[in-house]
Amino acid sequence: MNFLCSDGGGYGTGQGNGDLSELITTNSHGFIVVVIQYRLGAFGFLSSAELAQYGVPNAGLYDQQFSLEWVQKYISSFGGDPTRVTISGESAGGGAVMLQAIANGGTLGTSLFSNAIVASPYLPMQWDYNGIAPSQSYYSFAQAAGCLGLGLPNGAGVNESVFSCLQQADTRVLQNASAYVSAGGKYGQWAFLPVTDGKFLPKRPSEQLLAGQVNGLRILSGVSIFLLYASELVVESSCIYKIVPIPRKILVHSPVSFCVLTSF
């Protein structure tokens, strides 16, 4: 089995450097683990009508899909079986796994993976790519990067789009602008999030799941329970169990963090 893992972090922070050796050894080296990296913040989830005209919304989700395509093409070189791939993630990583399960309108079947495991999946409001919230974040980002309005250091000229100005900006300026705007998101959220773009995500999850338009065969989903005692964070080992009534085998069980899993 091949296990592909994606980290959480609200689509705004995170890193794929977790040590999964215990998971591997506990299961007698029965599967190959692939840990992926994908673009975050404005680099992965900047969106607006202008960006959609010149670029691609949901770039971070495309990064994840590219990693799944890589697994299909090369995992056999590592002794893996491309027909037995499981993807997994926690928090935003879990939400991303669920979005991969409805990617491209659920038309991919089992071409990229068969199973999914999600732990405490983070699924915030999914706006249209040109909706008010992502558009506000886009222009706030442009302003923070000096690309909004004449007279600013890198301000877009009369015949220049904000997007082209951003393309020319120094990467450190963009990183700082992304962090600054991300921190100004609504409580419990980041400013740059997946959007309904009509292509990768043609509909909201609530619509597609009810219609049974999903990729893969099975989903195992769990929710971690966090309890606060005397300023010390304790993770309760028990989980919430529930059967989700959609026309696929979906089971809610214990948690695991987007990983790719495939068999030998």
Is the separation of the CB atoms in 6 and 89 below 8 Å?
Answer: yes
User: Which letter does DSSP use for residue 105 in this model?
Assistant: G
Q: Which residues of 26-37 are buried (b: 16+ CB within 10 A; e: fewer)?
A: eeeeebbbbbbe
Q: Does the annotation mark 224 as catalytic?
A: no
Helix, strand, coil % in the chain, rounded to nearest 5: 35, 20, 45
Element (H, E) at 69: helix 59-74
Is the separation of the CB atoms in 81 and 1 below 8 Å?
Answer: yes
**Bridge partners for 262 per DSSP:** 2, 85
Q: Which residues of 222-239 are buried (b: 16+ CB within 10 A; e: fewer)?
A: bbbeeeeeeeeeeeeeeb
Cα gap 28→189, rounded to integer Å:
38
User: Which letter does DSSP use for residue 25 in this model?
Assistant: H
Element (H, E) at 158: none
Q: What are phi and psi of 171, to 5 degrees?
A: -60, -35
Q: What are phi and psi of 76, to 5 degrees?
A: -65, -25
Cα gap 25→23, rounded to integer Å:
6
Element (H, E) at 215: none
Residue of 88, 91, 178, 257 marked catalytic: 91
Which active-site residues does the annotation give?
A: 91
